[in-house]
Amino acid sequence: MEDLPEALVTEIIKKITRTCDLNSLSLVSKQLYKTEGNQRVAIRVGSGLCTATEALTSLCVRFPNLRKVEIDYSGWIPGHGNQLDSKGLFEFSSHCSSLIDLTLSFCSYIDDSGLGCLAYCKTLVSLRLISAPQITSVGLFSVAVGCPSLSALHLIDCEKIDSVEWLEYLGRNGSLEELVVKNCEGINHHDLLMFGSGWMKLQKFEFEKKRGRFDLLPCGDVFDSTYDAHMTDIYDFCCESLKDLRLARIKTWPEIGLRVLLGKCKALENLSLEYVLALNDNDIVALSRSCSNLKSISLGLNLQRYSSDVSYCETRTSFTDNSLYALALNCRMLQIVDLKFTGCAADWPSEIGFTQKGFVVLIQSCPIRVLVLNTANFLDDEGMKALSSSPHLETLELIFCPAVTDAGMCFIAHTPCLSNLTLRLCHEVTDVGMAELGRACKLESLVIEYCGEVSLKGVEGVAKSVHYSENCSAALSKKIGLGGGC
């Protein structure tokens, strides 16, 4: 190995991706130790750094060309040793001149003075702060001013960040293309409109408030189902570069706030709305008219109270078939649809604003490849028959769809391109339905979880890859709102 040209050794090392293999390789010879150190561009460290500052500085000397660093203290306890503090972050930033991507997770001892040291990292492009309890808007403003190349900023569980001077500065002078704000109590969705001209450059935006009980329960307010927030444009900014938009657990009444984005995103490709209060069909209509390139939509809907008549109040989910018709008419590139309904009765008719008629219009108008339905009680075997004629459908996931039976399996077995099927909590499907799927011999993968009438023997040989479980996972039970388990 000592006689190999350095360029060849470098190419060999580039082919090795696992960290443990790289560590082993560096022990073979001095040449490999040096070359591998120069080639290492990413590391992830955490509680194992007993003397955090000295250890991280040594790593920066060992790997002088680091570009991506993740420091993660999740699960840390005092017995694990000292955490990296603000002084240590200064030492780190002064030795890591090539850094472009930094993630700080659960770093409890880094405050604004430490974060301000990142101004030395003039090449910093991406910064993620996850559970940073001492960071305030002061430290964030220092980063905004000192890191002119910053294009991606994630703020998650940062309780002390409140004022928006940093946001206004990034809007005027920054180059942000990606902004994610989750569970930051001091920042509300009206504050984010202060981003101003920065919206024009932004390509990805996520805003989520903390989970609350209103995810499951009807809201006490009554919203006007005919109100059109897009009739007059009261916010003077454009977001024509935005491709990915996610809004979760915010209230858009009586002030419009981020609701206005739904009518401004002409380049939007991926949309996720989860438990956004006070939206109505006019928001989806405005969206569909602007976003002909929409490829993916995910809706998490709970019960809300709507009325356009003072004498009558209707409790239902946010959107009706009018939204589905608008998407079917204007969004002809739609390929991924994920619909989740929370708090609605299992039987139909229920409080879900969509009907099977509107749903069928959507799937027959758009080239849907992936379809996920969670607690969609409007879907029955006739709907499955309509689904079976979808020429592009490849992946179907049904979670707690009580009206789907073995007859629906018989229909869906003949879907031209279907290769992946997942059934969870579909108790009206039995081994008879599995046999129908098996005879079609089309499925690449089949997932069956907590479908009480389907046996392990019944799924054998139905697909090339089969996953079967009599129980639903904790993650699934949380997703569908069942609490601790099934």
pLDDT at 7: 73
Q: What is the pTM of this model?
A: 0.89
Question: Confidence band (pLDDT; 50, 70, 90) for 384?
Answer: very high
- Which has the closest alpha carbon to 218: 112, 301, 96, 128? 301
Length of the chain: 486
Question: Confidence band (pLDDT; 50, 70, 90) for 454?
Answer: very high
- 76-109: per-residue pLDDT in tens? 888 777 888 998 889 888 888 889 999 999 999 9
- 108-126: per-residue pLDDT in tens? 999 999 999 998 888 999 9
Question: What is the distance between the terminal CA atoms of the chain, rounded to a whole angstrom?
Answer: 58
Crossing angle of helices 165-173 and 137-146, rounded to 10°: 10
pLDDT at 82: 82
Element holding 46 (H helix, E strand): strand 42-46
How far is C-alpha 138 from the geometric centre of its chain's CA atoms?
28
3-state secondary structure of 91: helix
Cα separation of 257 and 382, whole Å? 40
Judge contact between 302 and 275, C-beta under 8 A: yes
Cα separation of 187 and 137, whole Å? 10
How far is C-alpha 20 from the geometric centre of its chain's CA atoms?
30
- Which has the closest alpha carbon to 14: 58, 65, 57? 65
For residue 482, pLDDT over 50 is answered with no
Cα separation of 388 and 386, whole Å? 5
